[in-house]
Amino acid sequence: MPLLRRLFNVQPGEGRLALLLFAEMFLLGIGFNFVETSVFPLFLSEFSAGTLPYLYIINGVVVALLSALYLRLGRRLTFSQGLRVLVAFIGALTFAFWLALTLGGGRPVTFALPILFQTAVSLGQLAFWSLAARLFTLRQSKRLFGPIGGGMWVAIVLTGFLIPAIVRAIGTTNLLLLSTAGFAGALALLVYITGGHRAALDVVEPTPAAPGEKPNVLATYLRNPYVLLMFGLTVAAWLSFFFVDNIFFNRISDRFPGPAELSAFMGLYLAGLGIFTLINNTFLVGLIVNRLGVRVGLLVLPALLFVVTLAFAVVGVGWGLVPVLFWLATLNRVLDLGLMFSVDQTAQAVLYQPLPAAERSRVQTIDNGIVRMAAVGAAGVLLLLLNRLPGVNVVGLALVLLVIIIGWLAIATLTTRAYPRALLAALSRRRLSGVSQTFDDSDSLAVLTAALRSPRPGSALYALSLLAESRPEALAEALPDLLAHPAPVVRRETARQIERLGLAEGQAPLLAAAEREDDPLARG
């Protein structure tokens, strides 16, 4: 346990809650994995992969409506009660599907199975991360959300390796019963966690709106070029995701026609995916986003998908090697899921920093609840149209996917250029108040360091205060410039922060600056 605390940087007093949330995500992960490894084999045993686009459209509508219903329900329930309702709902829904299949529900129930998967994952993730965000500060989140979220992938790895044997023992349909048990365990643990933290979770926060202020609506953000770029990233990423998804299920349904052998393959596949994603969250995210910056973090996933998809298209058009297409489609989906929910997700989260605190939550809600679901529906419509065109096969879908990925790379490039400008503009307006995030990525640090040297005292002081609170060690290199700043107020504040933080690196520059200081207050 001490080794794990050091490895994941768990501070005193955080261990018990972090372990409880890890266990909560582990139980949800069991539910998610058994749902996925039963839903798609059963669906593909009755319907072709070409039918999935209809489900993408339906999923976009259903999940958006359920999210809206949950928001409306939140006005009548406490926060804790709302979370319990969400987890209880997905558990009951999973059990209802198992019961319907057991009683001979037939093709209509089988057709709706992918809706169960999307609903369970979307609402389960919403419940968990809403809970975690309330229980930890954003500064704690930077350290702990990766290890805590790893609970799901640990569950996927462990259950994934067991699924072939479980399917042989109880069949594919009964995996839904095991999923129900996972969600029931998650609900019981959720009741325990929320019961112990009710005072922190159920506090009513007033809405920060001035009298007569018009509420921000979607049209307001559609006029903001920076926000539009973030929305564009979401659309491109999720369009690509569902094309990769459709190509993958087309190949595996052709390779494994029976539901039992398909479930066994998916169990092993998801175990491998879980290991890959765990490695990414533990080691790769910090290396790429924190050290190499947002630019690399946003470009690495579409760049890798482009390479593999191009190989898929070349092999399919030139040689038609079906076994190679299967492995390339599998690799593409592993890369997409494994990097989307680690490196890409973290890099996109950094993009929200320049937005004012009140606007940030609204933009995130619009991005995840409206823009993403619109992209899901658009992917379904586009795939349906392409599947109806004569001569368009899985290789044709890969060629269209290449075009989408090129658009994704272009939007990501524009966003990486816009992010430093947006952050610098936010600093100059001093509107990052309320931001509790740490500035760990290299791009943010570069912008803040540049702002320290701004001739405008307000910008320099604001950047100084942010770094003093979140990254005091990053001030060391800028101390000589700050102590020589043309504004006396900046020089005085720099001296005060050196003393307050006890920066050993600042002692020599401070003594040298005192010798030449002409402002009496700064010299004092």
Q: HEC profile for 63-89?
A: HHHHHHHHHHHCCCCCHHHHHHHHHHH
Tokens at 127, concatenated: 């419940």
Nearest to 41 by CA among 215, 270, 200: 270
**What does the alpha-carbon distance between residue 239 and residue 332 come to, in Å, rounded to a whole number?**
14
Are 493 and 475 within 8 A, CB to CB? no
Say what the alpha-carbon torsion angle 319, 320, 321, 326 is, to the nearest 10 degrees. Answer: 140
**How many other CB atoms are there within 10 angstroms of residue 4's CB atom?**
12
Nearest to 377 by CA among 39, 45, 56: 56
Tell me the backbone φ, ψ of residue 169, rounded to 5 degrees: -85, -40
**How many other CB atoms are there within 10 angstroms of residue 82's CB atom?**
21
Q: What is the pTM of this model?
A: 0.74
For residue 207, the model assigns a pLDDT of 44
Contacts (Cβ under 8 Å, ≥6 apart) of 237 = 301, 302, 340, 344, 375, 408
For residue 514, the model assigns a pLDDT of 67
**What does the alpha-carbon distance between residue 33 and residue 179 come to, in Å, rounded to a whole number?**
8
**What does the alpha-carbon distance between residue 438 and residue 467 come to, in Å, rounded to a whole number?**
9
For residue 205, the model assigns a pLDDT of 45
**What does the alpha-carbon distance between residue 441 and residue 431 come to, in Å, rounded to a whole number?**
19
For residue 366, the model assigns a pLDDT of 76
Tokens at 449, concatenated: 């360091």
**What does the alpha-carbon distance between residue 444 and residue 354 come to, in Å, rounded to a whole number?**
10
**How many other CB atoms are there within 10 angstroms of residue 214's CB atom?**
8
For residue 210, the SS3 value is coil
pLDDT, mean of each 10-residue run, the chain (524 residues): 56 79 94 94 88 89 84 80 92 97 91 92 85 70 71 90 92 95 96 84 52 52 84 95 93 87 89 88 75 86 97 84 88 94 80 72 72 88 89 90 97 92 70 50 66 68 67 66 71 73 66 66 63
Show the CA angle centred on residue 343, arms to residues 345 and 58, nearest 5°.
40
For residue 193, the model assigns a pLDDT of 93
**What does the alpha-carbon distance between residue 339 and residue 244 come to, in Å, rounded to a whole number?**
14
**What does the alpha-carbon distance between residue 227 and residue 384 come to, in Å, rounded to a whole number?**
29
Burial (Cβ within 10 Å: 0-12, 13-18, ≥19) of residue 357: middle
Nearest to 183 by CA among 140, 221, 128: 128
* Region class of 12: left (phi > 0), else alpha (psi between -120 and 50), else beta: beta
**What does the alpha-carbon distance between residue 199 and residue 187 come to, in Å, rounded to a whole number?**
19
For residue 180, the model assigns a pLDDT of 97
**What does the alpha-carbon distance between residue 199 and residue 79 come to, in Å, rounded to a whole number?**
11
**What does the alpha-carbon distance between residue 117 and residue 90 come to, in Å, rounded to a whole number?**
9
How many angstroms separate the Cα of 123 from the Cα of each of 129, 148, 197, 233, 505? Answer: 10, 18, 21, 22, 49
**What does the alpha-carbon distance between residue 473 and residue 477 come to, in Å, rounded to a whole number?**
9
Are 454 and 463 within 8 A, CB to CB? yes
